[in-house]
Structure 1
């Protein structure tokens, strides 16, 4: 059985993260092609994926020190997604 006392470096090897995904009308990204922005201003990834006549835009890389069973949408995450996606969307 693994014990963090035998390997102190493992204590922070697994941390919770949160993803933020916003859904837009497909007028913002017409067609069937997705976009991956591999490195944003803060070194995260952003994806824009066509989905059922909509576009899912988001990221999954916000680290947390604790977790909750209920997701909490953070205003700064919404701002990040909107500001970054605005550079790549048509409308």
Structure 2
């Protein structure tokens, strides 16, 4: 198990290096604020289609923090269904 975790960590580090700086900052924001993001997104009233539309707009605008929050909302919404 520990070896798999080590390998996963190495893979994540490799992938992070390929991201734009703003996206890396968003990943750190997500890690540091995961509980807050989860709480904010748990009971969203947005439909999955609306969330996806907003994710695409956030991506286009390079608003990676918003994109991460919306992705969390999408995951939590899908988990409820």
Q: Where is the helix percentage greater, Structure 1 or Structure 2?
A: 2
TM-score (ref. length: structure 1): 0.24
Q: Where is the strand percentage greater, Structure 1 or Structure 2?
A: 1
